[in-house]
Structure 1
Amino acid sequence: MATNVTSITTRKTFIVISAFTQMVCGKEFRSNLRKPLPSAKGAVRRVVPPFSIQSLQKGIHVAPAPSCHAFQERPPVKNLFRYRYHRGDFPVALETKGISWKTDITKLDFHFYLPMFFEGLTETKHPYKVFARQAVHDMLTYGGSKTFPCIPQLIIPIKNAFNTRNREVICITLKVLQHLLKTNEQVGEALVPYYRQLLPVLNMFKNCNVNCGDEIDYTKTRGENISDLINETLELMERTGGEDAFINIKYLIPTYESCLLN
């Protein structure tokens, strides 16, 4: 009886080994035999990727999950701003105190020039950033009702500026967005359908405050604190966006609290 049990066990072991060798090639099988056992002293554990079937094995080391680098700066989308600057398409000239306009701003074609200057908000080098930032504020100041029809053309440049993840660019774009909301009462309601393109990046940086302890955070006095600028912009969007503004902001930024309902 014992002899029959031993023969049956041997046959089962042979079947298992033969099935394993059929699935694995000879070279790979021999390399696996040379690997040290996990229980042996001084053995180096095999590193496997996370969230894989190999991470369920025993005697292995699971590698840490890779970072998505959500807050890492990204290169801006290529545009024609620098090309048009070097070609001389802008009706402005650079001076010591800023820029001077060669023509009357109210007589410009806002559908052509305003989106062009909005594309330059991603620039961080001199003199491109000086031209773009001051020209945008000047056109919003003296444009009056001409800025409202251009809003659909401004959404993509604003979105590209936010997607750079550059804090300087985001702060400048937030100030421009606040200026745009104050130019006309209808701008706030017109921007509500475009919240899905504008607010996801703001949700990431909404609570990015610097913990400097008992020191003074001078970015708040200079208006460069990204978290405060985001909260100010969202509150301005809610005030000027009408009845559906808060619902849409809350859907994309769950941590936002209403400045009107509270």
Structure 2
Amino acid sequence: MSTVPKPRATVPRRKTASATLSVTSDASTKVKARPSDKLNPKTIDPFSDHQKAPSAFAAIYSKGGIPCRLVHGSVKHKIQWERPPENIPYDPLLVTFAEGLRETKHPYTFVSKEGFKELLLAEGARDKTIPLLPKLIPALKAALAHTEADVFDRGLTALVQVSAVVGPFLNDHLKQLLTSLSKRLMDKKFKDQVTSALQKLEQYGGKETLGLIKSKIPIYCSICS
């Protein structure tokens, strides 16, 4: 009676160092971003810094959603409105301009800064701006906390402009902004600029404003001292 030979046991081969290296190399190759990945939304890292747009202002401006345009001058630029600023609804336009203060590219930087200022200077701006303060404060806070000095400068200028228009009505929201100002005050490069801005806030806001500033920035010197 013939016997059937038993199959030989297969011994798994050990991975050699070169094989392991090859696998590791292949894996690292797979995770490398390809140039075409930038065009494929599914492969874009949502947490990548360069994917975060400064604000929605650029997109709105590019689509014609801002009722003014930039006019280039030989010495100085200006913006031209489609209709008088006082006849334009401030909500959401003033907030959109405030968000645009974080933009870092021309013409968005100029248009957002100038548009914000001219709306605040228009007739009836006070009554239109006060109800929008809860929406304006987050945008101003983001500009004041920005790492770029130019953005911070635009945010600080805009804050003083708002204070000049609404006066003491800013006090209910001021604490949210003072932390960023306190940090910049410690930087010699911004010390004089921030001090001047705080003094204007005190001037426009009154005694209550001084108390709020002192509570967050004890070293602040009042304009009355």
State the distance in 2 between where 1:197 and 1:179 align: 17
Distance verdict in 2 for CA 1:148–1:182, change over 3 Å: same
State the distance in 2 between where 1:113 and 1:178 align: 19
The residue correspondences of 1:25-104 to structure 2 (distance < 5 A) are 78-96=54-72, 97-104=77-84
State the distance in 2 between where 1:169 and 1:81 align: 14
State the distance in 2 between where 1:132 and 1:255 align: 33
Distance verdict in 2 for CA 1:131–1:101, change over 3 Å: same
TM value normalised by structure 1: 0.60
CA contact (8 A) 1:77 1:160 kept: no
CA contact (8 A) 2:55 2:102 kept: no
1:213-247 deviation per Cα after TM superposition (whole angstroms, max 9, x unaligned)? xxxxxxxxxxxxx3222111111222222332222
CA contact (8 A) 1:238 1:246 kept: yes
Give SS of 2:106's match.
coil
2:121 to 121, 141, 147: 141
Partner of 1:230 in structure 2? Answer: 194
Q: C-alpha displacement at 1:155, in angstroms?
A: 0.3
- Structure 1, unpaired ranges of 5+: 1-73, 211-225
- Structure 2, unpaired ranges of 5+: 1-48
Partner of 2:44 in structure 1? Answer: none
Partner of 2:188 in structure 1? Answer: 209
1:164 to 116, 121, 146: 146
Partner of 2:169 in structure 1? Answer: 190
Amino acid at match of 1:90: I
State the distance in 2 between where 1:131 and 1:137 align: 10
1:252 to 208, 216, 219: 216
Root-mean-square deviation (CA), in Å?
2.0
1:115 aligns to 2:95 (yes or no): yes
State the distance in 1 between where 2:148 and 2:138 align: 17
State the distance in 1 between where 2:187 and 2:196 align: 14
Partner of 2:105 in structure 1? Answer: 125
Q: C-alpha displacement at 1:78, in angstroms?
A: 4.8
Q: C-alpha displacement at 1:147, in angstroms?
A: 2.3
**Percent identity of the aligned residues?**
28
State the distance in 2 between where 1:112 and 1:158 align: 15
1:153 aligns to 2:135 (yes or no): yes
State the distance in 2 between where 1:115 and 1:228 align: 28
